[in-house]
Amino acid sequence: MSVPSAPLDFDPKALMDAMAAQGAGGLKLPPPVFVDMETEVRDYRPGPGDDKIGASMTARFPVLERYQNPMGVMQGGMVAAAVDGVIGPLSYLVAPPSVTAQLLVTYLAPATEGTEYVEVEARLVSRAGRQLVFDATVTAPDGAEIAVARATQTIVRRGPSKDSAA
């Protein structure tokens, strides 16, 4: 199955199928957190070379009341969850399977009650051995930066599946 390369022909089901083909088969796709956070994947670009450096994914997350802290802004942990919710699937598309080893989020501005959604764009910036490094930017609809993040993913070795022959 081909993976979409531009927003105009983007098909979220094709993205999930591509993740399954890259080693995410047997996992819950879409991830339950995608459903809970009402994730809208907007774009995926696979990256130009074999190392897939530059691969990117963009998704939107509504700023829902249940995600707000007592001050009426999107809870920082929910912003981090949105970042992780984009980097995780992107990591499966560039080097499956992998897990988050480190996530650093720097908050720049609040996503207030009046903010309809935040958009997260994540990009693979480096890979060395089993380590992948991603940068992400979280923006409001007006383009204001809400947060920036850097994540390190570690490619894991999966054991034989239950379905494989002995």
How many Cα atoms within 13 Å fall on the side-chain side of residue 77? 4
Q: What is the pLDDT of residues 35-69, one digit of tens each?
A: 899 999 999 998 888 899 999 999 999 999 999 99
Mean pLDDT check: name the lowest of 9-18, 49-58, 61-70, 115-124: 9-18
Q: Closest Cα to residue 91, out of 135, 144, 142?
A: 135
- Higher-confidence residue of 19 and 75: namely 75
Q: CB of 46 within 8 A of CB of 5?
A: yes
Percent of the chain with pLDDT over 70: 79
At 30 the pLDDT is 72
At 81 the pLDDT is 96
Q: What is the pLDDT of residues 140-165, one digit of tens each?
A: 999 999 999 999 999 987 555 554 44
Q: What is the pTM of this model?
A: 0.82
Q: How confident is the model at residue 103 (pLDDT cuts 50, 70, 90)?
A: very high
